[in-house]
Chains A and B, each alone.
Chain A
């Protein structure tokens, strides 16, 4: 009466399952990191930021004074784009070409043609949201921006993204580690691709911690963000 049974299999599998569950929980498998949805208009950050050198605050105008960064109104787009139409003549910027995206913009804004203002039945652009914190998390952009946290710290090299994707995991652990270990405005600037201002006016403008490169810690008890 000899028998070999895989009696070891059951506990073994159980152990594996538990391990997997813990691992996924720990690695934040539930986060929507890296997802990069198709937008109604494929807005090229590189062109606006890198090529034209626009400041983030030009469009996201509340980022430094409000909880939420603010989204450019359609009129803001049209402000420039009723001069810069879909059809680009050949110039030092490059050869002549036609921009489909701007057509879309014109359709949304109900713009007859270049120079014309917004029409009567203009519709807002239904941008797809990428960076979303749960409702019970309160993230004041103003606090971070004014502490010298640059956009790139959380949003990645957004000025280089042809299509925006979620750079950080936005997990609580990710937030907290920065609050606990502190943040150096200097590195922030470097992340944004600037040399830290050593002297002159812009040094004065920048937060004091920039020059020193000291790491500024923040409160990390729950009620700082959850209320």
Chain B
């Protein structure tokens, strides 16, 4: 995979650069930004994250499991304590809730990992240490012949540095 990387100091110029690249039908664009900014969300125009679905499903699974454990335990070896019913669902709500949070929460995290492709074993091309600091990076995947156009676009918008990578 090869392409062009532009490092910007200012957010607005980076945004404009992306807009132009999109106009010129450049393909797969990735933005590296030290902090999440709405400007990029708008310009990249991704759909909503899928994490929510995992959260919902596993949350429900969790609460079910959380109810099931105590009920099964109490029923497995029925001992009367304090004259209470064998399976007392009211207090088991507590366990149900806790397990829901546990399972749902962890599921959310793992879903995020999966969707965001982290942890990643290698830092792929295109990343630059500056992008965690004060720079915004725009990485365009292009075939070599269009690379120069991309570079010009980026330069035009005042990229601090523009370089090809492969």
Contacts and interface: CB of A to CB of B under 8 A. Distances in A.
- Do the two chains touch directly in the complex (Cβ atoms below 8 Å apart)? yes
Interface of A: 1-5, 7, 220-222
Contact of B122 (A2, A7, A222): A2
Interface in B72-119: 77, 79, 119
Contacts of A1: 123
Contacts of A220: 77
Nearest to B121: A4
Chain B interface mostly helix, strand, loop or mixed?
loop
Contacts of B122: 2-4
A175 to B, nearest CB: 13
Interface of B: 77, 79, 119, 121-123
Chain A interface mostly helix, strand, loop or mixed?
loop
A4 B79 CA distance: 53
B129 to A, nearest CB: 8
Nearest to B78: A221
A166 to B, nearest CB: 26
Contacts of B77: 220
A65 B123 CA distance: 78
Contacts of A5: 121
Nearest to B125: A2
B165 to A, nearest CB: 13
Nearest to A4: B121
B123 A2 contact: yes
A221 B79 contact: yes
13 contacts: A1-B123, A2-B122, A2-B123, A3-B121, A3-B122, A3-B123, A4-B121, A4-B122, A5-B121, A7-B119, A220-B77, A221-B79, A222-B79
